[in-house]
Structure 1
């Protein structure tokens, strides 16, 4: 068995062979990509260049950050009793609720209104418009209480210090209607009635009205501006703002915003935090304002009574000339004054409880007054009122983010209802207790009034007038004290939450990520061409890999012939030290194993279609046998498309077709190639019936005579896939070779060879892969007579005539 023929009984005991095959696969894959290295380098350069241009012309985005400390309220007096009632209230300063407030639409809307961000200004930059903020050379003022155009882009060019030209740059306007702020009507087309306007003059129409004022613009300056309604801008800023806890244990929130305008981002977050604290302070002051309003309502009634009782007392004293009570009357008055002071206090408390009950029945939870401020010192009642106020505040906060159907709102509403029911029951019980206590005080007063009847009539009258005045005075002074306390409390109120760090933008942009983009550009520049090459190879229907060819054919792949780097089709004769010549020598050596113990033999070369290099292989195999001193003849049997004459510069005036179609002897058509021991019989003039000529008995007799006269006979046959007579010619050959060409032969051509073996009964036929490209990495390590490590002039065994690199890149052997 010849060395390269597969042995089915070989179990391959050497474990390194598998690893060797894996290495060969990786080498082939690597060489397959490396042959396209200029394209890959160009794509990588373009990827990096694209990333560089993207970094250069993309607007940088900066991150603005600030921190807010969320302080939890301390437990109120009686909260332990309240919790024991099973209501399970949660603390108001819940981190999630505070995040909801900071990211609420209402807070964003108030912030935008405070900053007046409804007009965006732009200037021209390279390939794009650049937004400007602060110290703008022009100022656009407008009122949002009427319909306004929003969304489109205006272009303003300053003509001189007093006039400007205004045009529409982007006609994508919608009409904002303050009566329905969340739904805007698309405007199909819009144009201004004229283009030149003076600064300071209002520009108005059916759906717009605004005034452009000159600040510091110079003639020739060009600006762009866009009008944006507050609801749309608030929705966008609400989504852009990020609020996250610093960590799970801390009650510190980090507010961040990514924006191309660092100063705008800083001002927005700072204003947002100020609005957040003002909102919290407003909620705190609500209780004090409700208390002051309640006390003022009571004062408005008691002041008239005090003034009337004072005038009556003065008039009585003047008329009766009595100013002081007797000792007995003074004692009765002191006792009576104490009781009446208690009576007025209980009456005020009862009036507060009745007012509180009215608020609860009418669901006026925002008007609740703290009991302690008006003198009600019931711990449970105080805790219930404060908790209900806090829950109401929570509902207002959460409603800015969630609707009534969300679990958060349903939970708060449920707790408000539970707390309200508990408070109603407590108020009803407190009213009953106050009424009973007040009735007891009234009974004690009536008992003392009986002692008054023992006094003289004048003193009794003086005591009554003094009593009435003292009662009103005490109530009036008490209410004034409570009002002052409430005003002091409101003045001393401070937001419990604090700003730790005001907004500050980072010095380096967070986007675009320059290094990452360059890396991505380089990777894409590498992946895209490799992916394209991989897909191209996957979709390739041509034979490329010798191992794949070896697996596809039913006969041994006996040799690989490399691509010649010269344009000469006779490298064996003209360049005997080339690697291609060595591959033919190797194939010649293998034939001693394929046809052992034969001094003379006939070799046939064919292929599936024309262009696969069978003539090239036939000529050079004939040449390599002649060089070793064997008398060799090359016979051109491709009568339809002769080529051998061109390679030897011989006229194709006579040949095998001449000998078969006339009485001329085959010896008369033999031509000398000019090389020792190498003759050739050309195909001759193209006959009208080439198949019939080759199938006649005369052809067999000629071949027998030629075999007697020559040591080696080489048949250059027509392609077996195109003509039928080649199948008959296999009978005249001792060894047959089926030539494939790398990068040219179709993968389906292997079935033609397999059919010849399985169905045609052709034996002793072997495969040859021609035109193997060294730049694709195929050929090394296969042991097929090509690629023994002698190439490339590295060791001096062979020499190659190198073509210029551009010719080698474009050339494909015919």
Structure 2
């Protein structure tokens, strides 16, 4: 049984929405049309994609010695850092500057404007060294080959100042001194200086353009660019950008990747340039000494006619020459170690010179210097994108400090070893000098001069070799990261999503009216649903009366085959079960407020009894607002108020309804004290006399929710009916009926729903006497009155 109730509720809900099917279909159609128009005129957005391979550095010899010691060099090729660099504001700014994208051009369409990038009809030159108007839109109309008209299309301008590029001020009321200019003419206003040149603009054509400063563009592209690895294990980064102009997107991403690799290459070249500068500084000092020693050697040989050494002198010189060469190289190494030590102790900036370039072959030292150089370069890149307190910057700073500490220890050890080697070489040279002293003076002097020349020459040649090696290294430097795929735009736009938009339009077209109907029903305070009414009242809902579509207030008498008449017959049949074994029947009709149809129901209920031959009388007890007289076309000159306020017998105020078994006692002239009249014992006596004379008595009482005397009348009736009107009676009025039962002690009272015309899925009564076969789908059993036009029904006064 409970399951059946739930099914009925779903049916009611469905019928409630289906009665508005034209509105729902109209909204769904409007949603589809709106989505179609949006797809038709929306700007197509294309996705531009490319990819970069981020190479991991091969570990240098000896790196594992200090890496395992916890100095943490393994994180220097973090993919997240590379993503941060590619999405950095500074890299976007460099890219925008290279592409010169600060002026955007648009074709003016009928509904929308489209950005143009290739084959520009005009070129706008901007002097970005001075303040400019940015953000707003200019409109240009070509008048002829030499002139054009310039207007302000959108006045949302800001002032860009190159001295403070990241902060702009709003331009109030922008205006131009004149509107017509010549191509190539300089257009100057306060904080504006541009020049417009024609490429192939034709007379009558219209274009729009706007100026955008580099920081604003860089921030826009930085936010729009998406960079992500293709999967968690790969070191391949996928770059994509969504843009309405495919060629612009391709150019931007390609230039961005180019600037990214150039920045990496510049960092690598910086180390080679530092090495070259170090060697050049050494060459400056040694070249002067070489030239001086060479001049002295030539002068001594010419003055003393000595050109070659003796055999003994040659042997001694060769030994001395070899030791001097070793000492020279050792001194260069010592100077490098001292320079490196000073760099570390003073915490200097700048680039390091690789030890291998100077001839130092210590693998650990080489790997440490190389690691420190890369960590410092990484720190520069990180600081250009993140603050000093960022985790990646702080982590990299810790690695630099650990590497410097390890390198400092290694340099101190190398300094001590180099000094010991140099001291040993000096001792050996001094020992050979004792042999030189045994030679003749002329040969001794020649050896000394030639020795100095040879030392300087060897060092000079050695430095030249190292400089050449450094230059070759610089020339052979390549970025470790490589471009896998250059930017390519898709052929199919990613937005608008046409199928999805049509579906959304259809769904919104369905949701909006359903939501409106739901809210309307939720906020509706009128009784519409018979099932809801039945659940709210504490008494049975005994029947329903359909809407009377004619002006005739007596459909039972005048149109006995109508569906409304049949609803009263059904209600009369129910009386048999409500008042068993009662030959005489007194029925009372009331409501909560006026205009709910109690008089209409009373008249036609009396009529249906009269049709079956019952002697019936209708008594109008609404002494304040009588209506029965006008429905029967009678004069309300006498009635119940006449009997109660005078000695007039009730028999004398009876009027005929026009039917032989149907009499009427009108309410009569409106008295000053209607409540007191009805509460007299005289009224009770009259009613008792009438019961003896008639089979059926119908009381048309005033609304119990507005007057008090009706409560006293319930005791005179065998059956009482509380009339509600669909779409008119307030839901809160059900409490009046409930109070009559619970607090007033009224028994044998039932509910009737009048003027049923809103189908809630119960077929107008589903078991309440106005249902299958008797409603709108009458299947030819009844003669229905053609409904009046809506404006007549609106003017017709319902009782």
C-alpha offsets along residues 213-235 of structure 1, whole Å, 9 cap, x if unaligned?
A: 22222223332222222122212
| CA drift at 1:787 | 2.1
After TM superposition, list the pairs within 5 Å mapping 1:693-772 onto structure 2.
693-772=677-756
| CA drift at 1:128 | 4.2
C-alpha offsets along residues 283-333 of structure 1, whole Å, 9 cap, x if unaligned?
A: 111111111111122222222222232233333333333333222222222
Q: Distance in 2 between the 1:225 and 1:82 partners? A: 59
Indicate the SS of the match to 2:70: coil
C-alpha offsets along residues 687-731 of structure 1, whole Å, 9 cap, x if unaligned?
A: 555445444455444433332222212122222223333333323
Flag the 1:178–1:798 CA change in 2: closer, same or farther, 3 A.
same
| CA drift at 1:43 | 2.6
| CA drift at 1:664 | 5.5
Contact 1:24 1:781 in 2 (8 A): no
Indicate the SS of the match to 1:647: helix
| CA drift at 1:270 | 0.5
Answering whether residue 378 of structure 2 is matched by residue 394 of structure 1, we say yes
Q: Report the counterpart of residue 181 of structure 1 in structure 2.
A: 165
| CA drift at 1:37 | 2.3
Q: Report the counterpart of residue 6 of structure 1 in structure 2.
A: none
| CA drift at 1:469 | 2.4
Indicate the SS of the match to 1:23: helix
| CA drift at 1:362 | 4.1
Q: Distance in 1 between the 2:734 and 2:122 partners? A: 79
Flag the 1:475–1:811 CA change in 2: closer, same or farther, 3 A.
farther
C-alpha offsets along residues 728-758 of structure 1, whole Å, 9 cap, x if unaligned?
A: 3323322111111122112232233233334
Indicate the SS of the match to 1:585: helix
Answering whether residue 60 of structure 2 is matched by residue 76 of structure 1, we say yes
Unaligned runs of 5+ in 1: 1-16
C-alpha offsets along residues 384-434 of structure 1, whole Å, 9 cap, x if unaligned?
A: 111111111111111122111222222222221222222222222211211
After TM superposition, list the pairs within 5 Å mapping 1:340-359 onto structure 2.
340-359=324-343
Answering whether residue 436 of structure 2 is matched by residue 448 of structure 1, we say no
| CA drift at 1:67 | 0.7
Q: Distance in 2 between the 1:177 and 1:689 partners? A: 90
Q: Report the counterpart of residue 296 of structure 1 in structure 2.
A: 280
Indicate the SS of the match to 1:19: helix
Q: Distance in 1 between the 2:676 and 2:70 partners? A: 113
Q: Distance in 1 between the 2:610 and 2:277 partners? A: 126
Answering whether residue 784 of structure 2 is matched by residue 784 of structure 1, we say no
Match of 2:233 among 228, 234, 249: 249
After TM superposition, list the pairs within 5 Å mapping 1:124-135 onto structure 2.
124-135=108-119
Answering whether residue 362 of structure 2 is matched by residue 378 of structure 1, we say yes
User: How many residues get paired?
Assistant: 798
Q: Distance in 2 between the 1:689 and 1:408 partners? A: 95
Match of 1:215 among 199, 205, 208: 199
Indicate the SS of the match to 2:705: coil
After TM superposition, list the pairs within 5 Å mapping 1:161-200 onto structure 2.
161-200=145-184
Q: Report the counterpart of residue 7 of structure 1 in structure 2.
A: none
Q: Report the counterpart of residue 273 of structure 1 in structure 2.
A: 257
| CA drift at 1:684 | 4.0
Answering whether residue 532 of structure 2 is matched by residue 548 of structure 1, we say yes
Q: Report the counterpart of residue 486 of structure 1 in structure 2.
A: 470
| CA drift at 1:374 | 1.2
Flag the 1:755–1:173 CA change in 2: closer, same or farther, 3 A.
closer
Indicate the SS of the match to 1:510: coil
Q: Distance in 2 between the 1:256 and 1:221 partners? A: 34
Q: Report the counterpart of residue 107 of structure 2 in structure 1.
A: 123
Q: Distance in 1 between the 2:131 and 2:583 partners? A: 108
| CA drift at 1:275 | 0.3
Q: Distance in 1 between the 2:674 and 2:322 partners? A: 146
Q: Report the counterpart of residue 491 of structure 2 in structure 1.
A: 507
Higher mean displacement: 206-215 or 25-34? 206-215
Answering whether residue 47 of structure 2 is matched by residue 60 of structure 1, we say no
Q: Distance in 1 between the 2:789 and 2:87 partners? A: 66
| CA drift at 1:564 | 3.6
Q: Distance in 2 between the 1:359 and 1:198 partners? A: 62
Flag the 1:91–1:724 CA change in 2: closer, same or farther, 3 A.
closer
Answering whether residue 418 of structure 2 is matched by residue 434 of structure 1, we say yes
Flag the 1:806–1:752 CA change in 2: closer, same or farther, 3 A.
closer
| CA drift at 1:612 | 0.9
| CA drift at 1:377 | 0.8
Q: Report the counterpart of residue 13 of structure 2 in structure 1.
A: 29
Indicate the SS of the match to 1:481: helix
Indicate the SS of the match to 2:721: strand
Match of 2:222 among 238, 242, 255: 238
C-alpha offsets along residues 65-85 of structure 1, whole Å, 9 cap, x if unaligned?
A: 111111111001110112134
Contact 2:139 2:153 in 1 (8 A): yes
Indicate the SS of the match to 1:748: helix
Q: Report the counterpart of residue 599 of structure 1 in structure 2.
A: 583
Q: Distance in 1 between the 2:73 and 2:793 partners? A: 82
Instruction: Give 4+ residue runs of structure 1 displaced > 6 Å after superposition.
Output: 807-812
Q: Distance in 2 between the 1:191 and 1:793 partners? A: 72
Flag the 1:189–1:612 CA change in 2: closer, same or farther, 3 A.
closer
| CA drift at 1:654 | 4.5
| CA drift at 1:778 | 4.4
Q: Distance in 1 between the 2:795 and 2:312 partners? A: 139
| CA drift at 1:95 | 0.3
Contact 2:567 2:774 in 1 (8 A): no
Q: Report the counterpart of residue 5 of structure 1 in structure 2.
A: none
Higher mean displacement: 597-606 or 519-528? 519-528
Q: Distance in 2 between the 1:146 and 1:359 partners? A: 42
C-alpha offsets along residues 163-198 of structure 1, whole Å, 9 cap, x if unaligned?
A: 233333333333323232222233334333333332
After TM superposition, list the pairs within 5 Å mapping 1:452-463 onto structure 2.
452-463=436-447
Flag the 1:41–1:515 CA change in 2: closer, same or farther, 3 A.
same
Contact 1:607 1:719 in 2 (8 A): yes
Q: What RMSD over aligned residues (CA atoms) do the two structures have, in Å? A: 2.6
Contact 1:365 1:392 in 2 (8 A): no
Indicate the SS of the match to 1:405: coil
Flag the 1:311–1:548 CA change in 2: closer, same or farther, 3 A.
same
| CA drift at 1:476 | 1.9
Answering whether residue 609 of structure 2 is matched by residue 625 of structure 1, we say yes
Q: Report the counterpart of residue 518 of structure 1 in structure 2.
A: 502
| CA drift at 1:648 | 3.6
TM-score normalised by structure 1 residue count: 0.92
Q: Distance in 2 between the 1:571 and 1:119 partners? A: 81
Contact 2:105 2:209 in 1 (8 A): yes
Q: Report the counterpart of residue 9 of structure 1 in structure 2.
A: none
Flag the 1:286–1:751 CA change in 2: closer, same or farther, 3 A.
same
After TM superposition, list the pairs within 5 Å mapping 1:526-675 onto structure 2.
526-660=510-644, 665-675=649-659
Higher mean displacement: 514-523 or 228-237? 514-523
Indicate the SS of the match to 2:334: helix
TM-score normalised by structure 2 residue count: 0.94
Unaligned runs of 5+ in 2: none
Q: Distance in 2 between the 1:176 and 1:728 partners? A: 88
| CA drift at 1:498 | 0.9
Q: Distance in 2 between the 1:199 and 1:555 partners? A: 90
Match of 2:307 among 309, 317, 323: 323
